[in-house]
Amino acid sequence: MLFSILAICWGTSFVAIEIGLEYVPPLLFAGLRYGVAGLIVFGYAAVVTDRLRPVDRTEWLSVGVAGLFLIAFYHALLYVGELYVPGAIAATVASTAPILTAAFAGAILPRERLSSAGVVGLVLGLIGVVAVVRPSPAGLDTELLLGAGLVFGAAIAFAVGTVLARPLDAGLPLETLQAWAMLVGAAVLLVGAPLRGESVAAIDVTPTALLSFTYLTLVSSVFAFLLYFQLLDRSGPTQVALVGYAEPAVAIGVSWVLLGYVVDSLTILGLVTILAGFAVIKRRRLARVLERRPEMLRRPTAVIRTLRNPTETRRSSPAEARTDGGVPRDTEAVSPESSAD
């Protein structure tokens, strides 16, 4: 049940962004969203953790990497990309982030080389993107290529940030790290907005714009953040990462219901191919998840555990923090299977 709710929260965010961009310039939109969300999460962190600020160089680096790559760069490219492509297409292209994370980890981290199966998974992911970008002869349009390219760049930024965060292993509570990352990312986005020529005067304050902003801030950012960590505690990162492949399906359905947008059959094929690439890379961990499934079903639900126990401080590295409303953070995505097939 929680898995489905989380997929809905994040899948609908792509459509909410598409709708909101009709009224708010992209960088201002993203910056204001994460500024407000960061303040709310910061208040939550004050209740459930014992530390509200980084204390050493490693922790500040963790915040910087998460804020720059996982909030600012990712969302800048995603929001600008959605000026040119529908939310359903953006969600599908962005779902390559876990595959790209494994690829960059294999290239950057000495002990995490990509196996032959990992290479196959990466190729499948890229083939899936090509199918999405060119679902028909109209897919050769410049705007579609530009938008899909920007969203793919967002997935790259997210993957690079995940890999760079892995060796830092900061001791910050996850809630504190999340709050600071949101605030740092929001500051970068708001500084970048006027450099792109965006102005507050260009914001068209309408009921639709307010609804989109409120939904993205409170539901897709704050509420989904709390759900994510409950699922992470309950099911583990590999299973939670599968939410990322339910998001495009949700976005496709919501786009059809609200906007009348119907994706091409090749887009569906592209999504399935990307999912197949992820399954190839994570095949052993997915098998272990299936083996543990009966045990996990017997565990008691802990939806408000941290709220009932505010003295418990969860610590982790930045690579374990979910810091966006689109693509799921898979901590194991930066640890591809290293043994050769």
Q: Which among 215, 243, 216, 245 has a CA at the least distance from the CA of 229?
A: 243
CA gap 88, 337 in Å, rounded: 30
Is 247 contained in some domain? yes
Is 163 contained in some domain? yes
Q: 9: domain range?
A: 2-325
Is 293 contained in some domain? yes
pTM of structure: 0.79
Is 167 contained in some domain? yes
pLDDT, residue 213, reads 96
Q: What is the CA radius of gyration of the chain?
A: 19
Give pLDDT tens digits along the chain (341 positions): 777 888 888 889 999 999 999 999 999 999 999 999 999 999 999 998 888 999 888 899 999 999 999 999 999 999 999 999 999 889 888 888 877 887 777 777 666 666 676 677 777 777 777 777 765 555 456 888 889 899 999 999 988 888 888 777 667 888 898 899 999 999 999 999 999 999 999 999 999 999 999 999 999 989 887 787 777 666 665 556 667 677 888 888 888 888 888 777 777 887 788 777 777 766 766 666 566 555 544 444 443 343 344 444 444 444 443 444 433 344 444 333 333 23
pLDDT, residue 316, reads 44
pLDDT, residue 333, reads 40
Is 32 contained in some domain? yes
| Total domains, the chain | 1
Is 331 contained in some domain? no
**Do the beta carbons of residue 286 and residue 32 sit within 8 Å?**
no
Is 336 contained in some domain? no
In 10 A of CB 120, how many CB atoms?
A: 16
pLDDT, residue 180, reads 94
Is 330 contained in some domain? no
CA gap 192, 327 in Å, rounded: 22
